[in-house]
Chains A and B, each alone.
Chain A
């Protein structure tokens, strides 16, 4: 009973942690972008204020049950991913529900969120939402290919489909997979660019063209839910990458440093990139990233 309570507490803490860190990263990203653009930019806690404000909106509208549930879907996805991804190496406190085979599970879970949200966006009846959704789903199909190739390469190479195992292997070898399987890492990293939907791949919610696409009908609390879930999800993804490729983290500080370093990749790549059209994005992912994925698989099979 005690351990159950303990683990529930751990889950709650990790949730809060993910929310906080995610939000901060988002805020920092705004700040960094602003600095790159020679602006002062908002304070790093700006996103908290925004979230607060959104939550404090006194009215709200919905276009039906699915619309109402859409943000909930994506929140569920984020939390589920977070639950499965181990946060620290061998931590008794963050006993996440990681289990043998969670990599495959994750592959699926991570695609579920966009679909759930797409359903919500669909019911709004706003054509912009639907267009955004189609773009989003198309891009998802694009970046899933290198991503899945990378994951499979990992599975072949280390003969496991458990994240914890992979972390342990890295700990045992004392060497990050990032270096021991460079192709895998490159493929996964390139796929991550799509996952974050930062700049070259941000046509999904093009603010002017599509009026922010899928979320164009969401205001107030819905937007709050989506914002927080995307922060949580971002943290979850970063943690996953750290676990898979950078040997995990022994304490929170290391984790934060590593994730932040990783986070800089899509962010910085985004700030200097123009925008791809959807088919260009899809083809991009099926080009070099998939090639690296293939290389990774071949490498894993033959070496």
Chain B
């Protein structure tokens, strides 16, 4: 009965509902975007009413926030954190820097397109995005989850080699353990 496709669908639906309304965020304060997180969470905008809540460790988190530009040095940590998160997991790119490098587009040690290294589910545009935009991003992600389209993690597994190649290109001395998920 459980294996039945329809009932699985129902279960998925319930699960997705739960996932959608309970987004535990690991806010990786990589860049200046980190400053936008506190107003988002506190009284003025109160993201918690959407079920968004900070998580202390990647093991507990569902959502990785890449808040701003990523240096190659930080990228390594971000990849590590991402890989430690449990499925299902989502990534939100924060600000222009994650999309095309933003104002650091020609810097020697920041990456330009986050998507080449990690599967980003939602981008939030702006430099910096205001809390309203961030909340809009969360809502967008929730929509995607409901629709079952927030499948970045699956994509990452699928195209792991490609991602790895890109990652290794920018990260010298690759010492990370193999992705074991």
Contacts and interface: CB of A to CB of B under 8 A. Distances in A.
Does A touch B (CB under 8 Å) in the complex? yes
Contact of B14 (A37, A38, A52, A220): A52
B56 A53 contact: no
A56 B48 CA distance: 20
B107 interface: no
Interface string B130-171: 000000000000000000000000000000000000000000
B181 interface: yes
A212 B60 contact: yes
A218 B60 contact: yes
Contacts, number: 88
B22 interface: yes
A3 interface: no
A186 B38 CA distance: 38
A50 B22 contact: yes
Given A59-B86, A218-B60, A49 B46 contact: no
A207 interface: yes
A106 interface: no
B43 A60 contact: no
B56 A208 contact: yes
Interface string B38-50: 0000110010110
Nearest to A58: B87
B22 A53 contact: yes
B22 A219 contact: no
A60 B87 CA distance: 8
A53 B59 CA distance: 14
Contacts of A53: 15, 18-19, 21-22, 62
A34 B87 contact: no
B7 interface: no
Nearest to A52: B18
B38 to A, nearest CB: 12
Interface residues of A, number: 33
A57 B22 CA distance: 12
A182 interface: no
Nearest to B60: A219
Main secondary structure of the interface of A (DSSP, over half): loop
Nearest to A223: B60
A40 B21 contact: no
B102 interface: no
Contacts of A43: 49
Nearest to A209: B56
A211 interface: yes
A6 to B, nearest CB: 30
Interface string A203-239: 0000110111001111110010000000000000000
A137 to B, nearest CB: 20
B57 A57 contact: no
B54 interface: yes
Contacts of B18: 49-50, 52-53, 56
A61 interface: yes
A53 to B, nearest CB: 4
Nearest to A213: B56
Interface of A: 30, 34, 37-43, 46, 49-50, 52-54, 56-61, 207-208, 210-212, 215-220, 223
- Leading 6 A-B pairs by shortest Cβ distance: A212-B56, A52-B18, A219-B59, A56-B15, A53-B22, A53-B18
Interface of B: 14-15, 17-19, 21-22, 24, 42-43, 46, 48-49, 51, 53-54, 56-57, 59-62, 85-88, 181
17 contacts: A39-B49, A42-B49, A46-B22, A46-B51, A49-B17, A50-B18, A50-B24, A50-B51, A52-B18, A53-B62, A56-B19, A58-B87, A212-B57, A212-B60, A217-B57, A219-B57, A220-B86
